[in-house]
Amino acid sequence: MVGNCIFKKVHVQITNKTTVRNEWKLNSADCRIKMVGGRVAHPVLKGPSVVKELIIGSVLGLAAGGLWKMHHWNEQRKSRAFYDLLEKGEISVVVQE
């Protein structure tokens, strides 16, 4: 006689000589254990997506270009303010000897 039981989410096939105590404890010497459960779906690895890489590259390029342009506008504003003050006579440049 061969019996089947489920013990802690593990499917156990019991042979004739196996005893079951309290219907939960098994004499594991005579048992063959099989895991019960569905198969796990693993993601399939794909190659690089050209369109996705183009979009990401374009967005990163525009962001970096915008930051670089803002930096240059800030430097241009500083130099323009310096020359405006120099022209008005509010500041002067002294050459060290």
- For 12-52, give the DSSP string: EEE-TT--EETTTEE-GGGEEEEE-SPPPPPPPP----HHH
Q: Which residues pair with 12 in a beta bridge?
A: 5, 33
Q: What's the pLDDT at 18?
A: 52
* Residue 13 counted as domain residue: yes
* Residue 15 counted as domain residue: yes
- The stretch 70-84 carries a mean pLDDT of 97
User: What domain count does the chain have?
Assistant: 1
> Quick check: 20 pLDDT over 80?
no
In percent, the amount of the chain with pLDDT more than 90 equals 44
* Residue 21 counted as domain residue: yes
- The stretch 32-44 carries a mean pLDDT of 63
Range of the domain at 14: 3-35
* Residue 12 counted as domain residue: yes
Q: What's the pLDDT at 35?
A: 53
> Do you know the residue count of the chain?
97
Amino acid occupying residue 23? E
pTM above 0.75, yes or no: no
